[in-house]
Structure 1
Amino acid sequence: MRTSLICLFLCLSVFAAAQDTPRVVPLPLPPGPRKHGILSVFGAHREEAREGKFLVTPFFLPAYSPDIAFSLAGGAIFSFRTQKSDSALPTSSIPVTVTYSTVNSFIASAGWTTFWLHDKLRINALMQYKNTRDAYYGVGYANAISTSYPDSTHLIRSFTIIQIRPLWKLRRHLFGGMSLEYSQNILSQVNAHTAHDPYYLQTGQFIRNTGLGAILSYDSRDFPQNAFRGLYSTLIYTFYQPQFGGNTEFRALDFDTRFYLPLSRYKYHSLAFNYRARYDFGEPPFTSMVSLGTSQDLRGLRFGQFRDFYENYFITEYRHKFYWHDRPTRWGFVCWGGVGAIGGDFRSALFERAIPDFGIGLRFEIQPRLNVRADWGHAPLGGRSSSATYFNFLEAF
């Protein structure tokens, strides 16, 4: 299985290299005079971005999800160029978001996408803390459908993660690096059903993961945070060991491929495809098992409902920027459809029981090529159907 995934990764990389011929990417026309209005506070700052200046743009929006109910999310996106004189260096960005909900859930998150040394070094990082109402249905598709919500699923989870991934350029578009991860879960107010679950009894209320992994990545995207064309394909294998300071022992294989297809030579209309597979081996805690329903995958599912050792999903998303008199505006929309699957082995996770999902989203460009997004997703699952709205910076993938 691992051999076949590596072969697939190499085939996609060869395909991308074959397609990597020079193209002229149409650039938006310069904006007109700056307008004075409420949205002028969130100016796109095109000239400052071209010069590589440090930019800060705040934003806030309400949202709803079945997990944390109604919430208000606010934050800012920081962008800069680590070497102002290098106009070919991609823009680094750090979105910071703070969310508070009507059920007293609190989430603070910061994601780093940074480019250094003329793009010979990339450092990506995630730092997040959340104290929130959570739901554990059990492991597997059958439990996800049959477990009573919320009486048999409710618990409170305090979660912290620090993840750092430095990548060094090996050759054009090809990067290699490592993954360093520390995460901690503290569970409380655990319901009686969960308290007798074998996967809960495996680790109890305190779970600490410490992981060290290797990364091989191919990236030909024209703009990593919001690609219009290109291919991104990465393979990550991580060891979680008690010798590193945790109390868990398992391994995780993560394969993530994204392809971006422009639909117009002159306008920003495109299709984005994302296939992702993650497989856990050994004895992963249930809090670390793959789970659908985040703001980056099948948006609309209740997070934590569908979890197991193996996961696959595929999403197709149409991205459309609005134009006014052939000039690009800062507004756009997306619509997507996707399907996922989970299972205890490779075959059952290969869409044996498909989990469908679709949705629409609104985009507003707060800095050049950096969007704030509001998405609404729906998962039609009969009596277990769910919907959710999401607020976030940058695209889902």
Structure 2
Amino acid sequence: MNLKVNVAALVAIIAVFFCVSNINLVKAAELDTLATDSVKAKRNLRFSMLGGPGYSPDFGFLIGGSALFTFSTNPADTALKRSVVPVAFAYMANGGGSAIIRPQLFFNHDRFRIFGQISAKNTIENYYGIGYANNSEIEKGETTTEYRNIGYRFNPVLLFRYKKTDLFLGGSIDISQQNITEPSQGVMNDPVYIAQGGDSTGLKFFNVGLGVNFNYDTRDVPANAYSGMLLEFSATYYSKSFGGESDYGVYNFNYRQFKELKFLGERKVLAWMLKGQFTSGDVPLTEYAPIGSPFDLRGYYMGQYRDSNSMAGVVEYRHMFNMGDETWLRRLGSKMGFAAWCGLGSIGPDMSNWSPLLPNYGVGIRIEVQPRMNFRMDIGKDPINNQTLLYFNMTEAF
């Protein structure tokens, strides 16, 4: 996608979303002025929504939106973290659509959590092949990489606190179907696609996995942490004996750290993360470990770089403005902010063979739609392929 198209899309999206968000924020400020303290105290469910015409680097022009629901599963427990349910949905100009829900639910004095994702899609996607050489050399296009993917994923993660510590243990279920249709000539000629049974009519995967999860979590607010850390390990095994079509394993680790830079003022945060995904067995081509998503190296097309293993690291500075609350204009200004990041990634067929580094950097706008909950719009750069891509989402990238 050339830079001119992305700049034009950026201007259009900023105009639409900034206007919508300004209206919502001003109305919220007016309502807060009129509301009594007793009414505010009784509020539990909070709902925010931004939407309109937009652009996605992976799906082109679309009509879409992001919604955010937050609530407490026990309003009487003032120490319990608020549950967060971000929802993203879109209808694409090229036909089809998608919806994804990524809940973070907290129960019983935070002794029990439900995380994970639920998604459904009918979208035009791109497959570049497996390995660095293929990924970096194949041009994205209708005849080279495109196919339609009709599928869904149901992946809840259940976590139980161990005694009175910050350690959580649990398990997960992952049920997914990926139905590749309308494959381009480039996809049909790919050796992995052919080896896994793909032909001119397409290729279908249905897989069921069971996993174990280990979390050490000291973050103050998981959806937008100012302090604390997350150390997460998971192992999921997919088996024909569970009702799926393949036998393979996926192993993930995720380290995140957050530090509030109080010497710069309130709500100034340095965040960094390191993540890895490793696979084994008869892995479907849609499930190989990728680099590049709205949640790590923003700037690479989703799935453009994928192999048996992947690793990525990101350092990000997050800055919210503090302009006071004397007038609605100052309150509005205090809901604005920005972020800047840089990162590196790599993919490889095994632990001793890694690709050249994949650098990444970018900047973004932040709009606080609820306390500690931001809408974000990010512009990410992929220097390897000279790509500049645009993203928008509810909650922070990590």
TM-score between both structures, scaled by the size of structure 2? 0.85
The Cα shift of 1:168 comes to 0.1
Partner of 1:393: 394
1:196 aligns with 2:189: yes
1:40 paired residue among 26, 49, 54? 26
Partner of 1:128: 119
CA RMSD of aligned residues (A): 2.1
The Cα shift of 1:78 comes to 1.0
Partner of 2:212: 214
The Cα shift of 1:37 comes to 5.3
Q: Cα deviations across residues 221-268 of structure 1 (Å, max 9, x unaligned)?
A: 011110001000100000011111111110011000100011116501
The Cα shift of 1:153 comes to 1.1
Q: Please say if residues 128 and 145 of structure 2, whose CA atoms lie closer than 8 Å, have aligned partners that are also in contact.
A: yes
**Which amino acid letter does the alignment assign opposite residue 278 of structure 1?**
Q
Q: Please say if residues 68 and 105 of structure 1, whose CA atoms lie closer than 8 Å, have aligned partners that are also in contact.
A: no
Aligned residues: 358
Partner of 1:169: 161
Could you say if the C-alpha distance between residues 52 and 223 of structure 1 is closer, same or farther in structure 2, counting changes exceeding 3 Å? farther
Partner of 1:180: 173
**Which amino acid letter does the alignment assign opposite residue 123 of structure 1?**
I
Q: Cα deviations across residues 15-40 of structure 1 (Å, max 9, x unaligned)?
A: xxxxxxxxxxxxxxxxxxxxx95533
Could you say if the C-alpha distance between residues 175 and 270 of structure 1 is closer, same or farther in structure 2, counting changes exceeding 3 Å? same
**Which amino acid letter does the alignment assign opposite residue 146 of structure 2?**
H
Q: Cα deviations across residues 205-228 of structure 1 (Å, max 9, x unaligned)?
A: 110121100001000001111000
Could you say if the C-alpha distance between residues 371 and 250 of structure 1 is closer, same or farther in structure 2, counting changes exceeding 3 Å? same
The Cα shift of 1:283 comes to 1.4
Partner of 2:378: 375
1:354 paired residue among 354, 357, 360? 357
CA distance in 2, matches of 1:374, 1:219: 27
Q: Please say if residues 65 and 387 of structure 1, whose CA atoms lie closer than 8 Å, have aligned partners that are also in contact.
A: no
The sequence identity of aligned pairs, in percent, is 32
User: Is the deviation greater in 145-154 or in 220-229?
Assistant: 145-154
The Cα shift of 1:271 comes to 0.6
The Cα shift of 1:325 comes to 4.6
Q: Please say if residues 25 and 369 of structure 2, whose CA atoms lie closer than 8 Å, have aligned partners that are also in contact.
A: no
Q: Please say if residues 224 and 373 of structure 2, whose CA atoms lie closer than 8 Å, have aligned partners that are also in contact.
A: yes
Q: Cα deviations across residues 20-78 of structure 1 (Å, max 9, x unaligned)?
A: xxxxxxxxxxxxxxxx9553345697977865611112211544333211223213211
1:334 aligns with 2:339: yes
CA distance in 2, matches of 1:263, 1:135: 40
Q: Please say if residues 62 and 391 of structure 1, whose CA atoms lie closer than 8 Å, have aligned partners that are also in contact.
A: no
- Consecutive unaligned residues of structure 2, counting only runs of 5 or more, are 1-21
**Which amino acid letter does the alignment assign opposite residue 330 of structure 1?**
K
Q: Cα deviations across residues 74-95 of structure 1 (Å, max 9, x unaligned)?
A: 1321111011111110000111
CA distance in 1, matches of 2:313, 2:342: 9
Q: Please say if residues 57 and 391 of structure 2, whose CA atoms lie closer than 8 Å, have aligned partners that are also in contact.
A: no
The Cα shift of 1:156 comes to 0.9
Partner of 2:306: 307
Partner of 2:247: 249
**Which amino acid letter does the alignment assign opposite residue 200 of structure 1?**
Y
CA distance in 2, matches of 1:76, 1:37: 15
TM-score between both structures, scaled by the size of structure 1? 0.85
Q: Please say if residues 140 and 307 of structure 1, whose CA atoms lie closer than 8 Å, have aligned partners that are also in contact.
A: yes
